[in-house]
């Protein structure tokens, strides 16, 4: 799997050199594929990370799940409207 990371590194470099675009990668771990697939993605990231790996996505088949109720998650509701408030750091995004 080092070839995958090498290809990602080449693509990121080309995007920067040819177009001035910075690329970063988020490896997605799809829950519907099970723990073995998640472990494979994690092992690859730890042993052969591309230079521009910045995080992990933990998801799955979102269309088949009910949405989150903001009534059950009041902090989520508040922070999604006002991410600058104290205690909402998980909802802020930072430019790199």
What are 40-84's pLDDT values in tens digits?
Answer: 988 999 899 999 999 888 776 655 655 555 555 666 666 767 766
* Dihedral sign of CA atoms 46, 60, 54, 86 in order: negative
Q: What is the pLDDT of residue 30?
A: 79
pLDDT of residue 38: 86
Q: Tokens 């990668």 label which residue?
A: 25
- Please state, for a pLDDT cut of 90, what percent of the chain lies above it: 34
Q: What is the rounded average pLDDT for all residues in the chain?
A: 78
Transcribe 23-55 into DSSP letters: --EEEEEEGGGHHHHHHHHHHHHHHS--TTEEE
For residue 64, the model assigns a pLDDT of 60
Q: Is the pLDDT of residue 5 over 90?
A: yes
Q: Cα–Cα distance between 74 and 77 in angstroms, integer?
A: 5
Residue 90 pLDDT level (bands cut at 50, 70, 90): low
User: Tokens for 62?
Assistant: 């979102």
- Check pLDDT > 50 for residue 91: no
User: What is the length of the chain?
Assistant: 96
Which has the closest alpha carbon to 23: 44, 2, 52? 52
Structure token digits, residue 46:
């730890």
Location of structure tokens 């910075």: 22
């Amino acid at each position: 799997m080092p070839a995958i990371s090498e290809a990602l590194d080449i693509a990121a470099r080309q995007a920067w050199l040819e177009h001035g675009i910075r690329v970063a990668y988020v490896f997605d771990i799809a829950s519907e594929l099970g723990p073995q697939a998640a472990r494979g993605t994690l092992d690859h990231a730890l042993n052969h990370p591309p230079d521009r790996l910045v995080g992990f996505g933990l998801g799955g088949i979102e269309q088949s799940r009910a949405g989150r109720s903001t009534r059950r998650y009041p902090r989520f509701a508040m922070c999604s409207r006002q991410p600058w408030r104290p205690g909402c750091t998980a909802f802020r995004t930072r430019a790199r």
